[in-house]
C-alpha cells in the first residue's frame, strides 16, 4: 500500500489524476497536484481543497521553474499531465509536442535535480502503432500512426535514458482505453465511452467511426489506480526502468460496447434501449484492433485487475447517471 509518502501528481485535476489523488489521500499521503487546467477540471479536485494534506499548484509543465517548485519535497512523482487525443495531435502537432515531450523532459529533469528516485508516468497503447500482432506485448511495437503516438514513445525513450544516465527509477504504464468516473463527456476530443453515455442519456444517436467492429481493451480507472500504486511502491529491482501494459486483457468491439451501455442505461430509462448509432467515416490515425497482454505486469508488479469492462461500466454508468441526468 502506498501510504505516508509525499507525492507529486501532475495533471491531478484530470480524469485519471483526480482518481489517484482521491485514493492516495485516503491512505495518509501528502499530495501536491500540478495542473494548468487546459484539460483538467477544477470540480475534479474541489473535494480535496480543504484537506490539509493536499496542495494545488496551478502551473504548466512547459515552465521549468514551475516543475522545480512542484517537485520540492516530493518522494515519488506520478506524471499524468499530457495533451491526450489522437485527433487533437493531428490538428495541432506543435502544441502536443511541446506539452508531451518538452514538458515531460522538464519533469524528468526537475525530478533528477531534486534527487527523487521514483518517476511513474502515463505511457500509451498508441505506441504499438501499426504492429499487427495481438495481444500487444511490451517488447514488440510498430511505427506510430499519429503525432500523439510519437510523443508517447519518445517519453519512453527519454525515461530509459534518464534511468541509465542519472539513476532515476522510471516506470511507464501503457494505458489502454481507460474509462470511469470523472472522465469528461464534452468537447471535441472527448473519449468514446463518456461521450456515448452523454448522448444516450439525452436520447441522441452516438456516431461510430466505421462499421463498429474495431475492438479495444477498455480498462476501468480503478485498475489503472492499482497499477500506479504497484509501480510507485515496488521494491523488485527487475520491475523498474521498464514499461507495462495497463489493461484488463479482453477485447470488446465498439458495437458490443454500445450494446452494453444501452443495456445498463435502460435500467434507468427504458427508452434508451431503442437508440441506434450512426456510422460515419473511419477516423484518421485510428488503429483497428487493440488487445493487451498483461502478463509482464502480473509477473513483475503483481498487477491483478479487478474490474472487467462489464463490471467497470456498471460502476461508471451509476456515476454518470447521477451526475449527468439531472
Q: Which residues are catalytic?
A: 148
What does the angle CA 45 – CA 50 – CA 56 come to, to the nearest 5 degrees?
Answer: 50
Sort 17 into a burial class: Cβ within 10 Å, 0-12 / 13-18 / 19+. buried
**Strand pairing partners for 23?**
none
Cα–Cα distance, 210 to 308 (Å, whole number): 25
Task: Centre a 10 Å sphere on the Cβ of residue 242 and count the other Cβ atoms it contains.
Answer: 18
User: Buried b vs exposed e over 277-307: b needs ≥16 C-beta within 10 Å?
Assistant: beeeeeeebebeebbbbbebbeebbebebeb
C-alpha cell at 263: 443495456
Helix (H, G, I), strand (E, B) or coil at 220: strand
Amino acid at each position: 500500500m502506498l501510504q505516508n509518502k509525499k507525492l507529486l501528481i501532475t495533471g491531478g485535476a484530470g480524469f485519471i489524476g483526480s482518481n489517484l489523488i482521491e485514493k492516495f489521500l485516503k491512505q495518509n499521503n501528502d499530495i501536491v497536484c500540478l495542473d494548468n487546467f487546459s484539460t483538467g477540471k477544477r470540480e475534479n479536485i474541489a473535494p480535496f481543497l480543504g484537506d490539509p494534506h493536499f496542495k494545488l499548484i496551478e502551473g504548466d509543465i512547459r515552465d521549468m521553474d514551475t516543475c522545480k517548485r512542484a517537485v520540492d519535497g516530493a518522494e515519488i512523482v506520478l506524471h499524468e499531465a499530457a495533451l491526450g487525443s489522437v485527433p487533437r495531435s493531428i490538428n495541432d502537432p506543435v502544441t502536443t509536442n511541446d506539452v508531451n515531450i518538452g514538458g515531460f523532459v522538464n519533469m524528468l529533469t526537475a525530478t533528477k535535480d531534486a534527487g527523487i528516485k521514483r518517476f511513474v508516468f502515463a505511457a500509451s497503447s498508441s505506441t504499438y502503432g501499426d504492429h499487427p500482432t495481438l495481444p500487444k506485448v511490451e517488447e514488440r511495437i510498430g511505427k506510430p500512426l499519429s503525432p500523439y503516438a510519437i510523443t508517447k514513445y519518445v517519453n519512453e525513450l527519454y525515461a530509459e535514458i534518464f534511468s541509465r544516465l542519472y539513476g532515476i527509477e522510471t516506470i511507464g504504464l501503457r494505458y489502454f482505453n481507460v474509462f470511469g468516473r470523472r472522465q469528461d463527456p464534452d468537447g471535441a476530443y472527448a473519449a468514446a465511452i463518456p461521450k456515448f453515455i452523454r448522448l444516450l442519456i439525452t436520447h441522441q444517436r452516438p456516431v461510430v467511426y466505421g462499421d463498429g467492429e474495431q475492438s479495444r481493451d477498455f480498462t476501468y480507472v480503478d485498475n489503472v489506480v492499482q497499477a500506479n500504486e504497484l509501480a510507485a511502491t515496488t521494491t523488485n529491482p527487475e520491475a523498474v526502468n521498464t514499461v507495462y501494459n495497463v489493461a484488463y486483457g479482453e477485447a470488446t468491439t465498439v458495437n458490443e460496447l454500445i450494446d452494453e451501455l444501452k443495456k445498463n442505461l435502460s435500467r434507468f430509462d427504458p427508452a434508451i434501449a431503442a437508440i441506434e448509432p450512426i456510422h460515419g467515416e473511419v477516423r484518421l490515425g485510428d488503429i483497428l484492433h487493440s488487445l493487451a497482454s498483461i502478463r509482464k505486469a502480473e509477473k513483475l508488479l503483481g498487477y491483478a485487475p479487478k474490474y472487467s469492462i462489464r463490471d467497470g461500466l456498471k460502476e461508471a454508468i451509476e456515476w454518470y447517471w447521477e451526475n449527468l441526468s439531472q
